[in-house]
């Protein structure tokens, strides 16, 4: 009985782990630049000229990708892709490695090494330290949050707003 349970456990474990290889993503190239699939969320679809899909498995930097997707833009010289590490070094003064990245107030949790953004898409880079959060002030965990604001319609409108503060009425005597 013990052998049957051991065999069944090994069989089901290998069955479940064996299916994990089918969920790998294809290699995504935008104008011959390797980018992550979630980087494509920040590219205007109207700027895409053509899409070519290659179904052959490819290994890039030791990572097996299930095929390739080659995307060509209408104006390839328009895009200047930079990685999150380059954004950190060029737009901030952060020296530590403990960083959480956000784009348009959404956390980047996957493919941080291959995630790239167009330099022309970046509107502003905001940095928040973990000590600014009341609940984390006494914690030993120290990190920075880098929020990259893109040139979206909402962000551009918020950037151009002028707030007038005060309690006096203007033009009333």
The DSSP line for 6-30 is HHHHHHHHHHHHHGGGGGPPPEEEE
Q: Which two tokens stand for residue 171?
A: 């033009």
Which of 60, 79, 98 delimits the end of a domain? 79
Kindly report the pTM of this predicted structure. 0.68
Among 95, 104, 167, smallest CA distance to 129 is for: 95
Residue 141 in any domain: the answer is: yes
Domain check: are 115 and 150 in the same one?
A: yes
Please give the tally of structural domains in the chain. Answer: 2
Domain check: are 98 and 39 in the same one?
A: no
The residue range of the domain holding 126 is 80-161
Domain check: are 148 and 99 in the same one?
A: yes
Per residue in 101-121, pLDDT (tens digit) is 999 888 988 878 888 898 888
Give CA–CA dist 79/8, Å, rounded: 53
Residue 168 in any domain: the answer is: no
Residue 169 in any domain: the answer is: no
Residue 172 in any domain: the answer is: no
Per residue in 65-86, pLDDT (tens digit) is 888 999 998 888 888 889 989 9
């Amino acid at each position: 009985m013990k052998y049957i349970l051991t065999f069944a456990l090994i069989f089901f474990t290998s069955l479940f782990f064996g299916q994990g290889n089918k969920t790998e993503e294809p290699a995504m190239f935008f104008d011959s630049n390797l980018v992550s699939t979630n980087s494509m969320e920040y590219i205007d679809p109207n700027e895409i000229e053509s899409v070519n899909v290659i179904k052959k498995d490819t290994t890039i930097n030791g990572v097996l990708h299930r095929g390739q997707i080659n995307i060509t833009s209408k104006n390839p010289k328009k895009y200047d892709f930079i990685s999150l590490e380059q954004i950190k070094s060029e737009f901030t003064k952060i020296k530590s490695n403990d960083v959480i990245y956000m784009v348009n107030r959404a956390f980047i949790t996957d493919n941080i090494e291959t995630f790239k953004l167009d330099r022309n898409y970046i509107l502003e880079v905001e940095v928040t330290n973990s000590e600014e959060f009341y609940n984390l002030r006494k914690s030993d965990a120290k990190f920075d949050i880098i929020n990259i604001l893109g040139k979206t319609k909402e962000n551009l409108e918020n950037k151009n707003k002028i707030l007038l503060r005060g309690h006096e009425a203007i033009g009333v005597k």
